[in-house]
Homo-oligomer: A and B are copies of this chain.
């Protein structure tokens, strides 16, 4: 199970096509075909059904492992490189959209205390934050998500990264002020199974997470927002397209924010970091452990 083979396997599975994966990886169709054949031969079972190209049951199982393995391989390389390369002059930080809100002021503080360091801030998806930190692209990352109070976020199981909680905040259901439920003191997910939902999985609490927390499959999106801009989401809510679950502080005055009381969930943001860091990185990380 050569990592190269695993990599083409996951790429093919993602693309749903041998030729697309080939061009993405810089191989020929033929090479990709041979890679898959080699893997299937090694494991003694078909991993993909062809035409359409879809993972078999065995392929699904392999996919669950392949990603984490590849990620950890990258992490290992990055970790070793870090012991030999001299510390980077620019502080690369990543954050998921909601987690990024708390970053501007802290970065300003770093700029003051460490005038020499260049800063690079990347806002990207929650998975990319963790993967980027693991792979060494970022020295520091902030992710957010919902969990039960004091429970850690369920990050990728691939890498044992240092993670520390930086804040927990109450969740609120964001509604237009004219919404019949807007005057409620608290809401439970059970009250909302028939509501119109906006699923904004890259920004707010993803509906899949809420379903898992509620133990119900009932929540269905009236509209999906595949974007990361908070103002756009709030505008969609205000326009009556539906409601969403957000950390209370993310809901502006134009909207009603009703506490989500049941199940008991919080919005948690966590700091993910590589083990070593420049003084600037350390001082940024310290910003979090001090203020809270």
Contacts and interface: CB of A to CB of B under 8 A. Distances in A.
Most buried by B among A66, A80, A157: A80
The 5 tightest CB contacts between A and B, nearest first, are: A157-B160, A65-B76, A45-B84, A58-B83, A61-B79
A69 B72 contact: yes
A64 B72 CA distance: 11
Interface residues of A, number: 30
Interface in A170-216: none
A115 interface: no
Given A3-B1, A160-B157, A80 B68 contact: no
Contacts of A43: 77, 80-81
A17 B159 CA distance: 29
Contact of A76 (B1, B80, B83): B1
A159 to B, nearest CB: 8
Interface in A64-115: 64-66, 68-69, 72-73, 75-77, 79-84
Contacts of A84: 44-45, 58
B83 A61 contact: yes
Contact of A68 (B1, B58, B61, B72): B72
Nearest to A70: B69
